[in-house]
Amino acid sequence: MALIECRHLTKEYVKGDNVIRPLDDLNVDVSSGMFLALMGPSGSGKTTLLNLITGIDQPTSGSLVIDGHEISHLSRSQLASWRSHYVGYIFQLYNLVPVLTAYENVELPLLLRQMSRSQRHERVATALELVGIADRHDHYPRQLSGGQEQRVAIARAIVADPKIIVADEPTGDLDKPSAALVMELLQRLNTELQKTLIMVTHDPATAAYADQTLHLDKGRLVESSDVALEQPVDERETPA
């Protein structure tokens, strides 16, 4: 069984007299341990899919099963609890709290857990060491380079040991050397720690780090770079 199973997943918004459908009857499976890149033009549904997988948003219709749990019908409080255990999110613009140190930013997700201070310290120290930023633990975001900020953001995403890491344009605000370092780090998290990683990117060079690439257009799957990623056939439609 796939770690993530999307069946007829649809998301709609009403804007005036128009219905906007960023995801349209999407069927896709994501295997455990996969490093998946999502590509497509702006408005194709990439970030919407991330937000549904992470429980930030909920589908209009369809089914979303993650690790055997149907999350599309959970309440907001249930989703918050589920997300704190299952998902780490890496943002393009880091989303670090400017008045907190690197250590304190990484510690934030653990404050939602029932953990002792010493347990939190051990987790944070390990995460900072993994991303190579332990020597900057007492620095504030303004004292870090863009690449260092993103590594702190990655440490924050992995500190709770989630099964799934999602990254929305993680190199979009970085220069090429910093982007390469960040992508090598994400690749290590996937290969060495077996984290399932789903990444949105517009950059083919960034997508090349992934095992498979899924292409979306107008909310539907149009192409996949690897047959290991399956798009279940909808029996109501005739294959092209």
pTM assigned to the model: 0.87
| Strand pairing report for 61-66 and 220-224 | unpaired
pLDDT of res. 85: 85
Q: What is the CATH number of domain 4-224?
A: 3.40.50.300
Residues in contact with 210: Cβ distance below 8 Å, sequence separation at least 6, in sequence order: 35, 36, 37, 197, 199
The answer, yes or no, to whether residue 82 has pLDDT greater than 50, is yes
Model confidence band, residue 72 (pLDDT cutoffs 50, 70, 90): confident
Average pLDDT of 14-21?
Answer: 88
